[in-house]
Amino acid sequence: MAPPSSKGLELTLKLPHYNRGNAVKVTINSAQPPHLEQLRAAQYCLTLALQSFAKYPMSTRDQAGLSKLLDRIAAATRKAQKSLSRYKENNGFPSKECNVKSFSPDLPEDLVIEFFVLQSSLMVSIRALNYPQQGIPLQIQSKILGKFRNIKLETYRGRPVEVLDEITVGSACPRLATLIRSLNTICGLCEDMQNKLRMFK
């Protein structure tokens, strides 16, 4: 699932140690937009909840069966909430490669852009990388460069890299806020129905 309203989204990147500090502009490629795994996970959980509801025989009025149905719907909804409230760092850089085709023009290999969700905010993480020069080990280069700035070393795409710049920013997303409210409402309704069922035991 692509970032909400990603069509035509333009990013202006200005990092102190990248491109001599000059701004770089990239646009989301609407043909191959970056995917948000968290939204995919939430969508999968809600599909399971809908399937549980669709399979429940409405002709029966079994209290125990209805209680189990509410439990399944609430559990799936809570999992959807959890997927939107947490971002596993091992699902991103440096473990996961950035799809350079998701941007126009294609991202250079020394620039990484990732999107993820944090509650009702759409976050973007940007990293500028430095690959070692041939014949000079990165550790030696880092010792020299380390005299001038703090460095961070990673292994990306099977190659050692230095992270020159790293920044994460977010923006409130109304569609995500609506989704969060809807999930809260579903959980609240399930709990309310369970309380009413207990009254009839």
Higher pLDDT, 53 or 116: 116
What does 171-187 look like in DSSP terms, one character per residue? EE-HHHHHHHHHHHHHH
Q: What single letter denotes the amino acid at residue 1?
A: M
Rounded CA-CA distance 35/139 in Å is 34
Cα 165 to chain center, whole Å?
20
Q: Which residues of 147-168 are buried (b: 16+ CB within 10 A; e: fewer)?
A: eeeeeeeeebeeeebbbbbeee
Looking at the structure of the chain, the number of domains it has is: 1
Q: Give me the pLDDT at residue 147, please.
A: 45
Round the CA-based radius of gyration of the chain to a whole number and report it. Answer: 23
CA separation, residue 132 to residues 39, 118, 129, 141, 155 (Å): 36, 34, 10, 7, 12
On whether residue 3 sits in a domain, the answer given is no
On whether residue 74 sits in a domain, the answer given is yes
Higher pLDDT, 23 or 58: 23
Q: Please state the pTM of the whole predicted model.
A: 0.77
As a dihedral over the C-alpha atoms of residue 166, residue 90, residue 122, residue 22, rounded to 10 degrees, the angle is 20
Nearest to residue 132, comparing CAs of 122, 142, 147?
142
On whether residue 178 sits in a domain, the answer given is yes
pLDDT band at 20 (very low <50, low <70, confident <90, very high): confident
Nearest to residue 114, comparing CAs of 129, 96, 132?
96
Q: Is the pLDDT of residue 148 over 60?
A: no
Rounded CA-CA distance 184/121 in Å is 16
Rounded CA-CA distance 32/2 in Å is 9
On whether residue 5 sits in a domain, the answer given is no
Q: Give me the pLDDT at residue 192, please.
A: 94
**Domain housing 121:** 10-199
Read off the pLDDT of residues 93-143 as tens digits, 9 standing for 90 and up. 888 888 888 998 888 889 999 999 999 999 999 999 988 766 555 555 555
